[in-house]
Structure 1
């Protein structure tokens, strides 16, 4: 990419897209294009095609998606698979039609089988059943990365895919009904602290192990891949480190300053028991994460408090 290349970040207002925009700005890229949902509905094929025709896009970061935690994925599977497939199909097809120079598709680590060997290598994709609670979202993401590889195979398009682990950071969704685990715990504990509640109840048993990547580290990795990787295979992005949900909750409790008790509700789903990515391939390419979990959580909590104010 040249510093004045026309770069479209799909989903530029979201957690992932906004971090990619920040990373591009830090690296001196000046011609970044973004459209809010009210300006461009990515599920509308004709609108997407018109947008690509008018804007003469050269590079695409496809970070737009319908996302949510276990509860949302479990409650609205038809919406999750339909909306995400429409977004992927429309953007990738228009990128092909208008011969963009390169596209990076953002997937999710939930694409891997539920009982995958650990740490998870890229080649473990499609080797077993998916986690049922987010199967619809995972199927859509698998379709997107396969679409990119098929366009590369059949037409020679430079479409690549990256698979980040669980992400967190500023600009996340903190609505406890619709959010991922970190923003859900932060918002619950801050509310309990303000109301002097003696107990915070969290879903599941607290035993699942998860890997968490600060979103700006993910964005740096995406820009790095756009600049340095042209392979067919998707690339994992993570930290190589994991933590139990219980220990995560205790860490957030300390950062928030909540003094009450944490109770887990085992009647609620845990999701995949363990999910740690093998990041040896991206490390060989020359990228490593920089921000520790505790540092990233402090930044995320401070951002949440500032937004609340």
Structure 2
């Protein structure tokens, strides 16, 4: 049994990881300010964990949380495409200061095992599909606020690897790819589509539902259910090599237009797709090569066909939880 700190542990992925670590018998501590996380996600393990409220940008808080731990899983970051465009300075502030604080706290408290959550955004527009871990990391345009997120993750990877060589016994990096599931947050394509379709159905009780897209919907993504993602992280933790980078996701690729149609079908409605302007800096295709982690035993189990209905149902049933303003 290890003592493990999970930063961002009340976030969507963080909470799933916390529950898996508790199930494995570890002593788990969570550091989160709940600005993006939700305590309800940890309800089923609330009596089994230690929760420390705190901002990842506060070195004193991070140091207190790291103290006495054997291992740190660093997930605290500002996710959600909406925030990349609307608050890029916040994304970078949390991302870069947070990473510096985690490394400094680990060094001062003698913690020599670090697992970092990165992102597929570090390579932005992939040069090949499926995309392996060796592709170049790029920021195509520093003036585009979208790249605040990918840029912050690149900095985090560089710091983890280069400090890891000297000050850590084990550093592992995993890159999640389009993770979804119930209660995943509100600034992502699946919940946004689900709630927009629900509103459109209320306005149009019969006939095809008009549904506007960014661009023409031909962009593709490979959606990974959170349970598969957590399983992948546990494989990385158990079998990953020091300074190793691992893609975690699924090879099931779908167009955004087909995703909208599937959600429409769950509502029992046909939809009329309306093309709109594409956001600057978007990626046309994204599908990870998961062979590297597959060799260690990772195998996603939950197809989009299985995972999507429960996710959409959760958002239709819990719209009242959506933040206002």
TM-score (normalised: structure 2): 0.84
Distance 1:206 1:133, change over 3 A: farther
Is the CA contact 2:190–2:312 (under 8 Å) kept in the aligned structure 1?
no
Structure 1 unpaired stretches of 5+: none
Paired residue for 1:273, among 275, 281, 284? Answer: 284
CA distance in 2, matches of 1:306, 1:9: 29
| Whole-angstrom CA distance in 2 between matches of 1:117 and 1:12 | 33
CA contact (8 A) 2:235 2:296 kept: no
**Counterpart pick for 1:191 among 194, 199, 202:** 199
Q: Which residue of 1 aligns with 2:166?
A: 154
Q: CA deviation at 1:50?
A: 2.7
The structure showing larger relative contact order (alpha-carbon pairs under 8 Å, at least 6 residues apart) is: 1
Asked if the contact 2:78/2:95 (under 8 Å) is kept, the reply is yes
Give the alignment partner of residue 72 of structure 1, picking from 60, 83, 86: 83
Is 1:89 equivalent to 2:100 in the alignment? yes
Equivalent of 1:33 in 22, 29, 52 = 29
- By how many angstroms is 1:212 displaced? 1.0
Task: Compute the displacement of 1:170 (Å).
Answer: 1.7
**In 2, are the aligned partners of 1:167 and 1:215 still within 8 Å (CA)?**
yes
Q: Does 1:12 align with 2:9?
A: yes
For 1:1-309, what aligned pairs fall within 5 Å after superposition? 2=1, 5-26=2-23, 28-37=24-33, 39-53=53-67, 56-69=68-81, 71-126=82-137, 129=140, 132=144, 134-174=146-186, 179-196=187-204, 198-266=209-277, 268-269=279-280, 271-308=282-319
Q: Is residue 9–residue 30 contact of structure 2 (8 Å, CA) maintained in 1?
A: yes
Helix, strand or coil at the partner of 1:170: coil
Deviation at 1:120, TM superposition (A): 1.4
Q: Which shifted more, 284-293 or 263-272?
A: 263-272
SS at match of 2:94: helix
Say how many residue pairs are matched: 298
**Which range is displaced more, 291-300 or 87-96?**
87-96
* Alignment check: 8 A CA contact 1:110 1:134 kept: no
- Residues 68-109 of structure 1, C-alpha deviations (whole Å, 9 max, x = no match): 11x431232222112211122212321232222422100110
* Alpha-carbon distance, 1:250 to partner: 0.8
Secondary structure at the aligned position of 1:163 is classed as strand
CA-CA distance at 1:204 after TM superposition = 2.1
Deviation readout 1:260-306 (Å, 9 max, x if unpaired): 43323135457111111111100111111110012111121222234
CA distance in 2, matches of 1:110, 1:257: 34
Conserved in 1, the CA contact under 8 Å of 2:96 and 2:152? yes
Q: In terms of mean alpha carbon deviation, does 14-23 or 94-103 score higher? A: 94-103
SS at match of 2:318: helix
Cα gap change, 1:218 to 1:199, in 2 (>3 Å): same
Contact 2:5 / 2:65 at 8 angstroms: preserved in 1? no
Take 1:122 and 1:219, find their aligned partners in 2: how far apart are those partners?
Answer: 19
CA distance in 1, matches of 2:91, 2:269: 34
Q: Partners in 2 of 1:170 and 1:206 — Cα distance?
A: 23
